[in-house]
Structure 1
Amino acid sequence: MKTVTALVEARAAASPDAIAIVDSTGSTAYGELNRRADAVAARLRAKGAGPGSIVGVRLGRSAAMVAAWLGVLKAGAAYLPLDGSYPEARLRFMLDDSGAELVLSEADVLGINGPEAPGPDAPAARVEPGDLAYVIYTSGSTGLPKGVMIEHRSIANTLEWYAGVLGIRPGDRVGQTAASGFDIAGCEIWGALIAGAELRIAPEQARKSPEELCRWAADSRLDVLFMVTPLAQLAIEHGWLDGSALRVLATGGERLLVAPPQDAGYRFLNMYGPTETAVVATCTEVAPGAELPPPIGAPIAHTTAYVLDEDGALVPDGAEGELYLGGAGVGRGYLGRPELTAERFVVRDGERLYRTGDLVRRLADGNLRFVGRTDDQVKVRGFRIELGEVEAQLRACPGVGEAAVVVWEPERGFPRLAGYACGEFDAARVRSLLAERLPEHMVPAVIVPMASLPLTPNQKLDRAALPDPADHAVELRPAAGFDPAQAALAEDWREACGVTARDADDSLVVLGAGSLDLIMLQARLADRIGLPVPAALLNLSQPLKEQARLLAGIEPGAAVPVRAARAHEGPGSLGQEAVVFLEELTGSGMGYQYQMILEGPGTPDVSLLEKSLLAVLRNQAALSCRWRITAAGLEGRREEPDTVPLALHRVETEEVEALVAGLVDRPFRYDDFPLVGWDLILHPGGTVLLQREHHLIHDGWSVGVFLSELQAAYDGTEPQESQVSYFDWARDQREWADGDRSAATRAYWHEQLKDWSPDSDPPDELRTHLTLQPLGEERSALLESAAARLGVTPYALMLAVFRQVTAESVVGASFANRDVDTQELVGLFVNVLPLVRTRLHGESPADAARAEMALVVAADRHQRLPTPEILRVSAPGARSPLYPIMFSQHDSPLPELSLGDWRPRVRELGNGRGKTDLNVIVMNRGLQHGRSTGRRDASAYALRWEHELTRFPDHVVTELQRRFTRLLDHACAHPDQPWPPAGDNRNGEF
């Protein structure tokens, strides 16, 4: 018999340089994966882990998670997957019930290369086939989940069969899409790695939608993919996998109702198996045109299947009976539940069997056909759910008496749970309480109030008599109970911001909207009510009813739009003048250059791309202006370009990075023309488009505008010139700043900065280093959940953490400074504003986050006054219109590009020069793409740290990042407890 560790180690020894895993952070070779796992194992053994112990692993789906799982196994222990999407209460129960004394977090795995990392000679644990490999918790009928224990020999048997029947070979690309708490994830991961394949971990954004998942699979050129039954059915029905490179598609989890098309080009396997029998127990290949639903198949290798009657006797073929499974895959039992183990794991004729509770018939060809259940267990989205557990949790909610839960299949969407309850309760509050205790797939989508539950003549629940949940589904009627003005505004929120209000007291921030969503909302409101909406009227924290009241009071003239003259020349903006001043003062060109690349497999039509770039260049005044300094200041004039500054390069793939680095190092001066240039690099692995531009014509929002126009032009749509030009806006900015209308804003900023003493030394050109700190999908999910509970944005909560880490009272932050008139323009609109706050002794993260949120909302209301003007009236001694420490969020809309067969992704580049000592930018690419497409598909957050190398050398920033994640974890888990001291390290993590 074999172990998972031995199978993976054999592959690592045979092909150490072969790619093992590709995730959002890059690729990991087999040898590196093995070394990282060895280091994790050594640390665990030093902490006392070994055979018989259980280690929780709380990481998002990534190479780090796989290294952690493998490291736990190498230590001789068993891993317990802790899915970050589960409620904290359920995760705490799993840890307490399992007796896990150690929990591995992302920092534990990502930090194994430090000075404390164990050496390669650390003693190894001896892992036996009978040792426990992992524990996975499944739904329990008593109201509490139960831990299923699987040994190495059981899962190793499944894995060798899995890799063999799917035909996984070295070099194959195998998809990984399942959540870590879903047992099939083990087959996806280990099945690929024991075969020497390349495991491709799907990004969270792709997992949000079946179509996105299939697009990712096609773009990744996967050979093998597993999809749970509902997703596989949609993929086949809609043809989303047609034309892909897929060789094998496997499915399982629910009853299958489709067969592959005649020209599918891939094998289609239907798998069945309880968690208690090491994931898969039976399998069949489904051919095009097969009878539906197909059978669940015949037993896999070293597995037996018996169909027995109520007395435990074999039934004839074709007769109905309960399925009992035996053989190598049968698990050890339920952790700490000897009575339940004895009930479900039985011995028959000397063979240990697992009693599945599934009713089946054995067909003449030996395949098994699923008939139903002997109990109330159901499957939703591939997860086994004991309705009794959900019913018990429902009855435990305040005000709820008798309760029942059923599977509801609405006209649209996937099956979900619906609850029925008697008593006096608030359905929304009950669902909120259940969401704190149960995983998302176990929370009923609707709670139907009942006077009493219908019963059969035998006094059992009459499920057929329960009313249709659709008649009570609040989620399908989000504006129910609102007055007409509130209902209209709720629809505006949904369309503009992608959030659904269910109560008049809901606010945008609690529902997950951000500051830039206000711009989208402002535009929609202006269209609907026919009047401009003042930018300062609305904020994220206002309840729906308050915003509706304010909007009802808008009168003509309340907001003053930019005067549209479509001017093609004139003075630059005050922000542009500050950029030129700093460039001349420091002599730096690179510090005021922005660069990004579009990269991906495939090749665009080069001629069409060139024409598209020219169309955007001609349409956006800022891109086609020539600038100069006159006696009156910075002046610009639009010119009509005839050609595009595009250079073409053809190189080998391994030469791309060096070429890009050399091309980046070509600074613009403010008076060059044009202030943007492109290099198109064609190589065997795909295409790279490098864009360089001067900050005089650039801000973060402009990137999305440029890319949207590029996509439209490539698709043949003529760009529409804005009614307002950048010169119109710059003129209005100057007039507003010089007039009486800015008095209140000036007074606000003077009060904010009255105690600040800025650096009076002239700024130097700064040598900087750029590092990216991914927060990971699990930590990002916890961040968003904690922020919503506190009524703040994730950015405000992170700002509170950042201020605690750096102890800075004045932190600069970028604000979009745009409105309806300017959202379609490229140019420098962004305004850097000071967020001033002194930390209070003993304050909690919750207090700090709410204070930061109030500060951000106030700054947003007063963002129109340019930073040079703020400092001129509030800090006249400042030589630089910048702040040494900055913490901003880059969340502007960012479209997904499809330029022919080239679907590039955006990557921003550094150039080794900076403008401030420390500039941290919070990014979430999934959220940015979601704002562009109308979806809210948030993926993991990442922090972009650009730091000056004298004040903030690399080792200092590494420590700041470590402290940031530790305090962020504390803020999410214990928001009402004071910040921990610098050396505190709790919760059994190391």
Structure 2
Amino acid sequence: MSLHPTDTSPHSDLAPMCKPDLRDTLLDRLCEVAHALPDATALVADDGVLTFDQLLHRTYAVARKIAHLTQVDRSPIAVDGRNTTESITLMLAVIASGHSLVPLDSNLPEARRRHIVEQAAALRMDTADISDAEDSAAPLPTVTGDQVAMIAFTSGSTGVPKGVLLSHRMCLSKAYEVSSALALRPRDRVGNVLPVSFGAGINTLFAGLLSGAQVHCRDPRAVHADQLAAWIERCSITTLHCSPSLVSSVRTTLATSNVPPSLVGGVPENTIPSLRVVTTYGEALHSSDVRFFRSVLGSDSTFVNWYATTESGVVAYNSYSADQALPHGFIPAGHSPHGKIVEIVGVGGRTRKLGEIGEIRISSPVSADGYLGLEELTHSRFSTHDATRRYLTGDLGRIDRFGVLHLVGRVDDVIKVSGYLVEPTEVEATLRTVDGVDDATVVARDVESGKELVAYFVSERSSVAAVRDALRRDLPEWTVPTHITRVDRIDRNERGKVDRSRLFDSEVLPESASDNTFDGTTERWIADIVQQEIGLEEIDRDADFAELGATSLALTTIVVGLRQSFHVEISTEELAQAMNIRSLARTVDVKLADADLDTARSSHDGVLVPLRSEGSAAPLFVIAGAGVPAVGLIPLANHLDHDRPVYAIQAKGLGRRALPDRSIGRAARRYVREIRRIQPQGPYLLVGHSLGAWIALEMARILESGGDIVAELILLDPRLYRTMLDKLSEGNTDFEAAPDRAPLRKPCLPALARRAVSVALAGLVRFPTTERWLAFGIIGYRALDAHRPKPWSGPVTVVVTGENTSDRRSWETLANGNLVIREVPGNHIDMVREPIVARVADIIDDALHRRRRRERTDHR
């Protein structure tokens, strides 16, 4: 039985969105879409997929639970907005229940979220509250278009952000503006790479759903630029919605792409044909970033630069197809849409002449209802003239002779840092509350990427580190100044204002130190990740990442690098509390120790570890590289054919305490015994990565000599060094070899002594996780140096990176039977990490499918 209103009969076709009137509500339109397209996919997120019918039924079921829980209490309801189907359903249900929704950014400090809830006088609700509540048939109140659907809080920075009151009609109008401008239709797949707790993110969600389109939600703070193209292609995204920062981040992938810099700027070959539009929100978009994006992704999509405010919706936008010339520098805001009037005004609201700079005023039939509890500010910003709503944006701009709007800055000196509005005076107010701070000022400084905040303070007792920690506790991360400097005084002019010309420049970075200052393997590995992402040659273990110039994008990529290197999850909140090498290493080590305890309690901590035990196809055995735990192969297993069981094989003693195998032959014999426990007889399918490839080769020889069949042997980038090539050919060839491996970084004497002990006692003593991985890595490479490989005549597929040789003659010394050589981008480690691992999995699946086709042909 339907849980949503049934007074609307099902439609065979969905009418496009139109401008709403006072009677229209968000849920009315969602009902219309669900009746017309019940079985069409509505929402795709990391936690699942919902059709329009499922979304609507769940929304109203949850809405009735909310109505039952709240009874007569009509307070707004605050919800942590996450890009998941559960969270989005709850947000829609709050609106359907007649309450005003207060979206909360889950990445804000908890104290900050609590303050917003208190300011809105809101109830707070999460999915756990709903799951614990009983199902209800409570009637829902009648909702009208002029009722407040949402209270959207802007990113103020002192604990007093402004709550913008948005009616159903206003939310529908903003969604209609996006839908009509981009011609969204049910055939579209909307890629929403914006947090749904933000105005642009939830508006994109509404625009997509209410157009009948399929909306794919991803939080940009969890997306690496390297994964973007693969996600767009895999999901057949037609319209991408994101911040200019994400577009800019794609530039960093150019160095590892196949796009020559000389070709950047031309009309690219369209390798992602589904993507027709990229729309950016929140800050200025630079034309060079558009060129890089198109070239790196190989996309000829149209770019739309969308300038909007929470209070008024779209103000202006610019659209550039691939064959249109882009302007130099930042792209102008563009033209206002039909039905809206944009004016540049001066003091007293007088209209400025063309080309003159003034405040941007927008006139439209509908706007926000003002600011929650801020009547004076509401009256100063909003007005009504001839039945038209006017709103003063607070932005400075000018209109050129072609009618194009250009943004200049902010009237009240509010700046945008990484896409967020930040008021330096409010950050300064918080800085002045820090214990021990006697005087302070915060200013904005222009840098290549935009603007950054710089703070100066006077104190005899507080250090820079203590002040930064205090600000991080009280402010969102993006409002914490990039540079903080302690000075003996802050000079002021005769009117008592800070004399900015006499402020010290805090651009000098903290003094760097040598690698010998790092304490342990974890710190050294983290330093490698941080140095690569920030672009430094050296780094001190106590240097603050923000002081070193780490942007929010760099911090996101550091989180991704930690996950890929250590196989643990570090949230952005945890990183914000550990912004130097020393403290971050402690955080990682604690998580690794917890993971070790979990492993010790499980039954899968030995040599053979099932990554996927279900499936009707023949099992695949994957041998890990030197010092690599089985968990490091999970990304590969996730991308392989899901109908095939996958087992990882790791070194003896790496998981459970035991003496390790210190030769290739001994390891191979042990691994053969392990796989025979799962599969007593062939044909066998073997994959080996790095050192594991050499062990897999020896396993194939052992199995074959025992009368078994190895149907497919796939070697993932075993380094065919000159020493190995000479052993195979007995020194009788000058074929191309892989470049020699770089020597291990020479540690200080205490670290060298610890390393020697960990290698000698590996498997017997439980050293810290990263020390153990390194010790087993050294053992593995020592075993390889002593190993003398022999050629194998069975079918072999070799997958190589640019760090190896692809010379067929060289590989034929190792595999003299049916040999296939495939090349992939990236480096040796990238093969088992996103996004390259997806390509490697495709090659493995292709090789196994070819084998099955050969078998069918032989049977005929």
Structure 1, unaligned runs of 5 or more: 521-538, 545-573, 580-588, 604-612, 623-634, 645-666, 680-692, 698-705, 724-735, 749-791, 794-814, 827-891, 908-990
The structure 2 residue matched to 1:710, chosen from 700, 713, 716, is 716
Which one of 268, 285, 288 corresponds to residue 256 of structure 1? 285
SS at match of 1:322: strand
- 1:24 pairs with 2:40: no
| Cα separation, 2, equivalents of 1:163 and 1:137 | 24
Q: What is the CA distance between 1:493 and its match in structure 2? A: 4.7
Taking the aligned partners of 1:274 and 1:444, their CA distance within structure 2 comes to 25
Percent identical pairs in the alignment equals 26
In 2, Cα distance between equivalents of 1:130 and 1:743: 69
Aligned in 2, Cα 1:284/1:514: closer, same or farther, shift over 3 Å? closer
Q: Give yes or no for contact 1:602–1:902 (8 Å, CA) kept in 2.
A: no
Q: Which of residues 35, 56, 71 is equivalent to 2:93?
A: 71
Instruction: Give CA-to-partner distance per residue, 1:522-560, whole Å, 9 cap, x none.
Output: xxxxxxxxxxxxxxxxx976999xxxxxxxxxxxxxxxx
The alpha-carbon deviation at position 167 of structure 1 amounts to: 1.8
Deviation at 1:900, TM superposition (A): 8.8
Q: Distance in 2 between matches of 1:285 and 1:577?
A: 57
- State how far apart, in whole Å, the 2-side matches of 1:542 and 1:137 are: 32
Contact 1:599 1:906 in 2 (8 A): no
In structure 2, relative to structure 1, the CA distance for the partners of 1:446 and 1:36 (3 Å cut) is same
Unaligned runs of 5+ in 2: 1-20, 255-263, 532-538, 546-557, 569-583, 590-603, 610-617, 623-629, 653-664, 688-698, 704-711, 721-735, 744-756, 784-829, 846-860
Q: Distance in 1 between matches of 2:587 and 2:178?
A: 54
- Pick aligned residue for 2:348 from 307, 311, 325: 311
How far is the alpha carbon of 1:117 from its aligned partner?
3.0
| 1:23–1:200 contact (8 Å) kept in structure 2 | yes
Summarize the Cα distance change of 1:364–1:671 in structure 2 as closer, same or farther, 3 Å threshold.
closer
1:282 corresponds in structure 2 to: 316
- Equivalent in the alignment of 1:416: 452
1:247 is aligned, of 269, 276, 287, to 276
Alignment partner, residue 680 of structure 2: 672
Equivalent residue runs for 1:615-764 within 5 Å: 669=677, 672-673=680-681, 677=685, 710=716
| Aligned partner of 1:494 among 519, 526, 537 | 526
Counterpart in 2 of 1:160? Answer: 176
Shift of 1:123: 2.3
Tell me which of 316, 327, 330 is aligned to 2:367: 330
Equivalent of 2:228 in 209, 213, 221? 213
How far apart, in 1, do the equivalents of 2:181 and 2:564 lie?
50
Asked if 2 retains the 8 angstrom alpha-carbon contact of 1:281 and 1:329, the reply is no
Aligned residue identity for 2:276: R
The TM-score, its normalising length taken from structure 1, stands at 0.53
CA distance in 2, matches of 1:505, 1:161: 43
One-letter identity of the residue aligned with 1:69 = M
Q: For 1:273, what is the secondary structure of its paired residue?
A: strand
Q: Secondary structure at the match of 1:461?
A: coil
Preserved CA contact (<8 Å) 1:296 1:368: yes
Aligned pairs (5 A) from 1:273-672: 273-278=308-313, 280-286=314-320, 288-292=324-328, 293-348=330-385, 351-410=388-447, 415-424=451-460, 425-455=462-492, 459-471=496-508, 473-474=509-510, 477=511, 479=513, 485=517, 492-495=524-527, 502-503=541-542, 669=677, 672=680
**Corresponding residue of 1:874:** none
Q: Paired residue for 1:82?
A: 104
Secondary structure in 1 matching 2:341: strand
How far the C-alpha of 1:17 sits from its partner, in A, is 1.0
Q: Give the Å deviation of 1:367.
A: 2.6
Quick one: which amino acid aligns to residue 896 of structure 1? Answer: E
For the 8 Å contact 1:182–1:383, the answer to whether it is kept is: no
Equivalent residue of 1:276, what SS?
Answer: coil
Equivalent residue of 2:67, what SS? helix
CA distance in 2, matches of 1:823, 1:486: 24
For the residues of structure 2 that align with 1:707 and 1:27, how far apart are their CA atoms? 37
Match of 2:308, as an amino acid?
A: G
CA pair 328-405 structure 1, distance change in 2 beyond 3 A: farther
* Cα deviation, residue 897, structure 1: 5.8
For 1:577 and 1:312, the matched residues in 2 are separated by 76
User: Which residue matches 1:896?
Assistant: 834
Q: Deviations 1:269-301 (Å, cap 9, x if unpaired)?
A: 1111222224x2221223532334333123234
Distance 1:321 1:742 in 2: 70
Deviations 1:45-85 (A, max 9, x none): 11226895311112521111211111111101121112221
Counterpart for residue 776 of structure 2: 819
Letter in 2 for 1:503: D
> Cα distance, 1:302 vs. partner?
3.6
Q: Structure 1 residue 131: deviation in Å? A: 1.1
Partner SS, residue 98 of structure 2 = coil
The reply to whether residue 38 of structure 1 matches residue 60 of structure 2 is: yes
The 2-side partners of 1:33 and 1:73 are apart by 14
Distance 1:48 1:347 in 2: 35
Q: Secondary structure at the match of 1:819?
A: helix
- Indicate the RMSD between aligned Cα atoms, in angstroms: 5.5
Paired letter, 1:231 = L
Deviations for 1:331-370, whole angstroms, at most 9, x for unmatched residues? 1111122222222223456643222121222233333222
Cα offsets for 1:588-624 (capped at 9, x unmatched): x99x999989689999xxxxxxxxx9xx99x9999xx
Equivalent of 1:129, from 123, 141, 145?
145
8 Å contact kept, 1:82–1:91:
yes
Q: Amino acid of the residue matched to residue 407 of structure 2? A: F
**Do the aligned partners of 1:599 and 1:904 also contact (CA within 8 Å) in 2?**
no
Note if contact 2:158-2:430 (Cα within 8 Å) is conserved in structure 1. no
In structure 2, the partner of 1:202 is: 218
Change (3 A) 1:191 1:672: same
User: What is the CA–CA distance in structure 1 between the aligned matches of 2:350 and 2:543, rounded to whole Å?
Assistant: 61
- The 3-state SS of whatever aligns with 1:404 is strand
Greater relative CO, 1 or 2 (CA 8 Å, sep 6+) = 1
Match of 1:92 in 2: 114
Structure 1 residue 130 displacement after superposition: 0.9
Q: Which of 426-435 and 236-245 deviates more?
A: 236-245
Three-state SS of the structure 2 residue aligned to 1:188 is helix
Residue 615 (structure 2) aligns with: none
Cα deviation code 1:755-805 (max 9, x no counterpart): xxxxxxxxxxxxxxxxxxxxxxxxxxxxxxxxxxxxx99xxxxxxxxxxxx
- In structure 2, which of residues 178, 189, 194 is the aligned counterpart of residue 173 of structure 1? 189
Give the 3-state SS of the residue equivalent to 2:677 in structure 1: coil
Q: What is the rounded CA distance, in whole Å, between the counterparts of 2:96 and 2:231 in structure 1?
A: 32
SS in 2 for 1:80: strand
Equivalent residue, structure 2, for 1:149? 165
Distance 1:347 1:467, change over 3 A: farther
Change (3 A) 1:193 1:600: farther
Structure 1 residue 330: Cα displacement: 1.7
Residue 474 of structure 2 aligns to a residue in which SS? coil
Instruction: Write the letter of the residue equivalent to 2:470.
Output: L
Answer whether contact 1:226 1:249 (CA < 8 A) is retained: yes
Deviations 1:800-844 (A, max 9, x none): xxxxxxxxxxxxxxx989633356799xxxxxxxxxxxxxxxxxx
Give the whole-Å Cα distance in 2 for the aligned partners of 1:340 and 1:710: 63
1:117 is matched with which residue?
A: 135
Determine the C-alpha separation between the residues in 2 that align with 1:708 and 1:406: 58
TM-aligned CA deviation for residue 27 of structure 1: 1.7
Alignment of 1:732-811 (within 5 A): none
2-side partners of 1:392 and 1:640: how far apart? 66
Whole-angstrom distance in 2 between the partners of 1:62 and 1:138 = 22
The alpha-carbon distance between structure 1 residues 181 and 449, as it changes in their structure 2 partners (threshold 3 A), is farther
Distance 1:312 1:271 in 2: 25
AA matched with 1:492 = R
